[in-house]
Amino acid sequence: MLWHSDRNLDMNGYALINNAANRWFGGKLNATVLLPLFAALLLLVIWLGTLHLIGVERRNAERAAIESSADLIRTYEAQVIRNLAVIEQTLKVVRYAHDVKENDLSLSVLTERGLLPSSIIFSVDVADADGGIVSSNRQNAGNIADQAHFRAHEGNVNDSLFVSKAVLNPATSERELHFSRRLNRSDGAFAGVVVVSVDPAYFTSSYEHSTLGRNGVLALLGTDGVFRALRTGDRLSFGGSVDYPAATQSDFSSDSGQRQVPVNPWDGVRRFTKARQLHGFPLAAIIGLSAEEQLGNYYRTCNKYLWQASLASVFLLLVFGVLTRLSWLLSRSQRRIQADQARYYAAAEASLDAFFVLRCVRDQRGMIVDFELMDTNSRGEKLLGRPKAELLGASLVEFDPQCRENGLFAHLADVADSGKVHEVEWKNRSGSLNGEWLYRQVVRIEDGVIAIVRDISERKRLQMQIEYQATHDTLTGLANRRFLQDRLAQSIAYASRYGHPLWVAFIDLDRFKFINDSLGHKVGDTFLRIIAERLQSAVRATDIVARLGGDEFVLVLSGNDDDDLPSNNIQRIMDVVTQPLDLDGKDFSVTCSIGVANYPADADRPETLIEYADMAMYRAKETGRNNFQFFTATMNERLNERLRIEQELHQAIERNELVLHYQPRVDLRGGEITGMEALIRWQHPELGMVPPIRFIGVAEETGLIVPIGDWVFRTACAQNKAWQDAGLCHLRVSINLSARQFAQPDLLQTIKDALRETGLEARYLEIELTESLMMSDVENAIHILQALKELGVYLSIDDFGTGYSSLAYLKRFPIDVLKIDRSFVSDIPANANDAAITSSIIALAHSLELEVVAEGVETAEQLAFLQQRNCDVVQGYYFSRPVPVTDFEIL
Ligand code: C2E
Ligand code: CA
Ligand code: CA
């Protein structure tokens, strides 16, 4: 539909009309306007033709009527003249007889001689000078002296014919016309009159319906304008008077431009009328043919024509109305299609996708054998790398010869046949398409498909990058924790199927913090990268190397059936890690602690295996670092124990199970005890004496450290005060403060309260803080420390050297004591590195006028070394373990 609307059959007729219209009217008009114009033209032709025909018919009818009226008047005139001639003859015969036989005139003699016409029609009377009838052929008697014709002759010497009006004969009570002449005596004096009386109907008796119709006229009109006889149809009348000239000149001819047949003045009927003045008589003959009757045929024909024209007009209007409506609808739908197409092209061009309209090419059996490209957009040109003009009409098989092998053809044909929508992402290997990764969606249309193709290379790259980032450690490129779990699960599944064992090794670098601290994070990162490379090179390609973050790595090593992972395998990995490496021009070496868990012996779930390996690693750390430990069930017991501690710790205070042990601090110059550190223990009814390392962490996590810390403060202060009161000695007691306690807003108040309640002077209290505790918010820490300092208590930094703190900060903290961490002390003087660090810490502390305490002094050599380096105070098993109150009193 999209591409062959102009080929659509429905549109053919319409297109034809429109094309013609466009040719004629320069494309300005369309059929919607032309059709009504055409219809109007046809109507005009029909009606003009009809009216013309009617006109011709009318003239023909009128001419025929005029001709027949002319014939009729001739006949009528001749007939009347003949009758009048008989009357005239009779009058003349009688007069002659009178002149010959004056006073003895007998009409009977004349009758006998055949000189008078039949008395049935013509009555002849002779009257004397007094009006008395003297002779008659109808036995008439009486006197006519008072009658008009008598008087006319009496007073008129003229010898002229007198024609009377139709008068009533009292004897017969019938109308008659009197034709009379004067009789003179031989001396010319009035002698009487001779009268011929005739029934007026006699003159109109020739009326024939066949020629004159039912409403024709036959009339005898006197020049005085009075009808002597007037017959219209079957009706006879007399005496009516009209205007003589008007009545006799009513000639009609439509050729002369006269439209209407004139009206007879006597009865208002339209007639073709002819009149003749009768020569020698004061009379005119008139005939009239009723226009209505004469034109009857014409009227019927005319009606027929009008009906036909009307019917034709209605039919025409209907047909053209329907055509115009159709044409309007078609032009509207075409306009819509055009608008749709315009929108479609605009949308197609605006689209970021390439699209291709493909038409199916089928063989005789209807099978799709190829596709023809019907349309595309500029994106499509870009994708195919060819201009549209070159692409349109191209065959798919020619264009992409591999389309049958790579499934494209089958895909398109399937959509074209089934109508399903198909979507697919694929890596482009075809030479005829641009783009590395492509996506296509194919939709069926009428006998074809539309393929929408998008270049998704960018998205794919991004997706793969994100996927990689989500599963890999950005610093080293190793698998991250999430990916490790997935891959470990796969390895477990594989190992379980083939009955192989697996080892999960958890590696933690010992004191990596130091490298970061002293050389900076950049070098630390390089260091980690090198370690990652070393680990990868130390294992097989199928093994997994992951970094969990910081300096923690995990290896998943798979073994064979009979291949028990030998310890020296792990040792080899340790050796690889601990090899010295060159950083910043200096040789560095780092040790590591490794914990190993085994599948299926220890656990069969990825998380559990990693957790157990982690536990074993901690064990390795506990046993002095730089070694590896295999997971054992007892480690797991410890875990269970930790859970138990977590559950029972909150009861410890109530049950009064907590105790404080005290470890003395010995001044190196004087050799006497100058202070003691209060160290907490938990006297558990079943677990026995639980060391702080096993429950302080839990207390921190649960928040129980706050009430426990309060208890420690009060107990230690009270104990110290008690000893002072007992007069034993005046010593400073140092108390360990945890991060959670340090963050408590009422810390200062708690300490004040403890001092006030116990009555201990502030200068006999020392508070031990770790570096990390102060480093999280330096400004706030300084603020709190200053407040504590104002209180008068001593402040010390515990475990110095293990945290991240920069020495530069030390100057800003109002502290009094610096405690060197046990881990440095334990390896001196054997470890030159540690020895150097210890020496420099002592020197640094002194330069900042801080007292230095060395922790964990166990041997005389250590003591000697520290003495030599001018360490102020020592604390350690060499002098005393932390001991209960009573034992301390003995000391
Ligand atoms: P710390 O503050 O570094 O305490 C010194 C630790 O070193 C003590 O362990 C002590 O017994 C041990 N020690 C002393 N001399 C030697 C020695 O010569 N050799 C060896 N190997 N160890 C020695 P302890 O009592 O187990 O305490 C462990 C940690 O628990 C403490 O480390 C401290 O951080 C924390 N802690 C103890 N008591 C409290 C307390 O009341 N409150 C808080 N917040 N933490 C406490
Ligand atoms: Ca301490
Ligand atoms: Ca310490």
Nearest CA to ligand 1 atom 22: 856
Which 3 state secondary structure label does DSSP give 437?
Answer: strand
What integer pLDDT is reported at residue 825 of this predicted model?
A: 92
| Element at 637 (helix H, strand E) | helix 633-654
Is the pLDDT at 806 greater than 60? The verdict is no
Of the listed ligands, the closest to the CA of 826 is 1
Give the confidence band of 107 by pLDDT, cuts at 50, 70, 90. confident
CB of 222 closer than 8 Å to CB of 282: yes
Nearest CA to ligand 1 atom 17: 856
Lowest-pLDDT range, 18-27, 659-668, 814-823? 18-27
Best residue among 742, 822, 887 to mutate for probing ligand 1's pocket (most ligand atoms within 8 Å of CB) is: 822
Q: In this structure, which amino acid lies at residue 658?
A: L
What integer pLDDT is reported at residue 4 of this predicted model?
A: 43
In this structure, the strands spanning 586-588 and 581-583 are antiparallel
Ligand 3: centre distance to CA 677 (Å): 10
Work out the average pLDDT over 597-609.
92
Q: In DSSP terms, which residues pair with 231 in a beta bridge?
A: 218, 236
Which 3 state secondary structure label does DSSP give 604?
Answer: coil
* N residues, the chain: 891
Of the listed ligands, the closest to the CA of 821 is 3
- The H-assigned helical ranges of 728-831 are 739-742, 747-758, 771-775, 778-791, 807-810, 822-826
Rounded to the nearest integer, the mean pLDDT of the chain is 87
Of the listed ligands, the closest to the CA of 875 is 1
Give the confidence band of 581 by pLDDT, cuts at 50, 70, 90. confident
Ligand 1: residues with CB < 6 A are: 663, 678-680, 691-693, 696, 712, 736-738, 768, 798-799, 822, 855-858, 875-877, 882
Ligand 3: centre distance to CA 799 (Å): 4
Q: In DSSP terms, which residues pair with 175 in a beta bridge?
A: 168
Work out the average pLDDT over 182-194.
88
Ligand 3: centre distance to CA 736 (Å): 9
Which 3 state secondary structure label does DSSP give 191?
Answer: strand
End-to-end CA distance of the chain: 106
Give the confidence band of 694 by pLDDT, cuts at 50, 70, 90. confident
Is the pLDDT at 26 greater than 50? The verdict is no
CB of 837 closer than 8 Å to CB of 858: no
- 680 CA: nearest ligand 1 atom: 38
What integer pLDDT is reported at residue 254 of this predicted model?
A: 66
Best residue among 717, 855, 881 to mutate for probing ligand 1's pocket (most ligand atoms within 8 Å of CB) is: 855
Of the listed ligands, the closest to the CA of 661 is 1
Ligand 2: centre distance to CA 732 (Å): 14
Q: How far are the Cα atoms of 85, 313, 315 from residue 318, in angstroms, in the given order?
A: 70, 8, 5
Ligand 2: centre distance to CA 772 (Å): 14
Contacts of 497 (CB under 8 A, 6+ apart): none
Of the listed ligands, the closest to the CA of 876 is 1
Q: What is the pTM of this model?
A: 0.42
Nearest CA to ligand 1 atom 45: 736
CB of 875 closer than 8 Å to CB of 664: yes
Residue 358 per-residue DSSP state = E
Give the confidence band of 252 by pLDDT, cuts at 50, 70, 90. confident
Ligand 2: centre distance to CA 369 (Å): 87
Phi, psi angles (nearest 5°) of residue 405: -80, -40
Beta strands per DSSP E along 606-753:
628-630, 658-667, 673-684, 688-690, 732-736
Burial-class residue 416 by CB neighbours within 10 Å (0-12, 13-18, 19+): buried
What integer pLDDT is reported at residue 6 of this predicted model?
A: 41
| CA dist., res. 476 & res. 456, Å (int) | 29
| CA dist., res. 528 & res. 539, Å (int) | 17
Nearest CA to ligand 1 atom 12: 856
Ligand 1: centre distance to CA 429 (Å): 68
Ion ligand 2 neighbours, Cβ < 5 Å: 736, 768, 798
**Which one has a higher pLDDT value, 257 or 672?**
672
Ion ligand 3 neighbours, Cβ < 5 Å: 798-799, 855
Of the listed ligands, the closest to the CA of 820 is 3
CB of 579 closer than 8 Å to CB of 534: yes
| CA dist., res. 64 & res. 297, Å (int) | 12
**Which one has a higher pLDDT value, 437 or 13?**
437
Ligand 2: centre distance to CA 678 (Å): 8
Is the pLDDT at 21 greater than 60? The verdict is no
Tokens at residue 861, please? 């050599």
| CA dist., res. 18 & res. 331, Å (int) | 9
Give the confidence band of 580 by pLDDT, cuts at 50, 70, 90. confident
Tokens at residue 316, please? 């025409």
Q: DSSP states of 566-585 as a string?
A: -HHHHHHHHHHHHS-EEETT
Best residue among 663, 689, 736 to mutate for probing ligand 1's pocket (most ligand atoms within 8 Å of CB) is: 736
pLDDT tens digits for range 529-567: 999 999 999 998 889 999 998 899 999 998 765 556 667
Ligand 2: centre distance to CA 33 (Å): 106
| CA dist., res. 193 & res. 105, Å (int) | 12
Tokens at residue 659, please? 């105790």
What integer pLDDT is reported at residue 520 of this predicted model?
A: 81
Work out the average pLDDT over 711-730.
93
What integer pLDDT is reported at residue 876 of this predicted model?
A: 96
Tokens at residue 422, please? 């198909």
| CA dist., res. 306 & res. 314, Å (int) | 12
Is the pLDDT at 594 greater than 60? The verdict is yes
pLDDT tens digits for range 766-780: 999 988 777 767 888
Residue 737 per-residue DSSP state = -
What integer pLDDT is reported at residue 360 of this predicted model?
A: 94
Is the pLDDT at 861 greater than 70? The verdict is yes
Give the confidence band of 27 by pLDDT, cuts at 50, 70, 90. very low
Q: In DSSP terms, which residues pair with 547 in a beta bridge?
A: 553
Nearest CA to ligand 1 atom 25: 679
Based on its alpha-carbon atoms, the radius of gyration of the chain, rounded to whole angstroms, reads 75
Nearest CA to ligand 1 atom 46: 736
Give the confidence band of 470 by pLDDT, cuts at 50, 70, 90. confident
Percent of the chain with pLDDT over 90: 46
What integer pLDDT is reported at residue 103 of this predicted model?
A: 64
- 696 CA: nearest ligand 1 atom: 45
| CA dist., res. 762 & res. 852, Å (int) | 20
What integer pLDDT is reported at residue 97 of this predicted model?
A: 87
Percent of the chain with pLDDT over 70: 94
Ligand 2: centre distance to CA 107 (Å): 195
What integer pLDDT is reported at residue 557 of this predicted model?
A: 92
Give the confidence band of 28 by pLDDT, cuts at 50, 70, 90. very low
| Element at 280 (helix H, strand E) | none
Nearest CA to ligand 1 atom 43: 736
Of the listed ligands, the closest to the CA of 658 is 1
Q: In this structure, which amino acid lies at residue 131?
A: G
Is the pLDDT at 10 greater than 50? The verdict is no
Closest Cα partner for 733 from 709, 762, 758?
762
What integer pLDDT is reported at residue 18 of this predicted model?
A: 53
What integer pLDDT is reported at residue 560 of this predicted model?
A: 66
Ligand 2: centre distance to CA 663 (Å): 10
Q: In DSSP terms, which residues pair with 586 in a beta bridge?
A: 583
Is the pLDDT at 9 greater than 50? The verdict is no
Closest Cα partner for 540 from 500, 481, 581?
500
Q: In DSSP terms, which residues pair with 239 in a beta bridge?
A: none
Best residue among 621, 681, 682, 696 to mutate for probing ligand 1's pocket (most ligand atoms within 8 Å of CB) is: 696
Is the pLDDT at 256 greater than 80? The verdict is no
Q: Which residue carries 């466009």 as its tokens?
A: 22
Ligand 1: centre distance to CA 692 (Å): 7
